[in-house]
Amino acid sequence: MATIRLGDVAPNFTAQSSEGQINFHDWLGDGWGILFSHPADYTPVCTTELGTVAKYKSEFDKRNVKVVALSVDGVESHKGWINDINETQNTTVNFPIIADEDRKVSELYDMIHPNADSKLTVRSVFVIDPDKKVKLIITYPASTGRNFDELLRVIDSLQLTAYHKVATPANWNNGDDCVIVPAVADKDIPELFPKGHKVVKPYLRTTPQPNLD
């Protein structure tokens, strides 16, 4: 069983999906991506999750993030389930669902945790950057639906901190002040952060979010 850690290159794979065959790296292109797994088709929590992702797709698009789901059932099952999702969640599924009947992708990404269930995937989430590096891994039990507002918040943080020398503090939301990373010397702050900064402690320095006008 593979173990994937932050900073690893996301393993590539080719698989069938509800929107045809996908080569994962080619499909991602030069943008960001989210791969998230579901224990099985026609399950109640997953139905609400996929409906939510469909409704949030414009928010992911704004951030140049592609989303793709995975379930261990087949394409025809996915297509029938999509009809149910559209009906019950009052939306239209607008992203692919990977068919992983042989569990090759699930095993590649360590999505099956035998002490939870020997056959079904846990609710895994992988956020992948344009270099195909894994930037975030979250694992939920099958019983707990994901918070997609939190995933958007995390993506905002990942994209901000990838291009600016800041980190985001607890409960940060887009638009809040950020923390200047310790590697930035005090003498370099005025040039890097012209909006100003505040020194709370020598190791805790804050600045307005640098990528906002």
Residue of 22, 34, 35, 46 marked catalytic: 46
Domain end residue (candidates: 120, 146, 172): 146
Domain boundaries, position 21 = 14-146
90: left (phi over 0), alpha (psi -120 to 50) or beta: left
pTM surpassing 0.95? no
Q: Does a structural domain hold residue 32?
A: yes
Is residue 25 domain-shared with residue 100, that is, in the same domain?
Answer: yes
Q: Which amino acid is at 63?
A: R
Per the annotation, the verdict on 178 as an active-site residue is: no
Looking up tokens 């990373």 gives: 181
pLDDT tens-digit profile, the chain (213 residues): 568 899 999 999 999 999 999 999 999 999 999 999 887 889 899 999 999 999 999 999 999 999 999 988 899 999 999 999 999 999 999 999 999 888 888 888 887 754 555 455 557 899 999 999 999 999 888 788 899 999 999 999 999 999 999 999 999 999 999 999 999 999 999 999 999 999 999 999 999 999 987
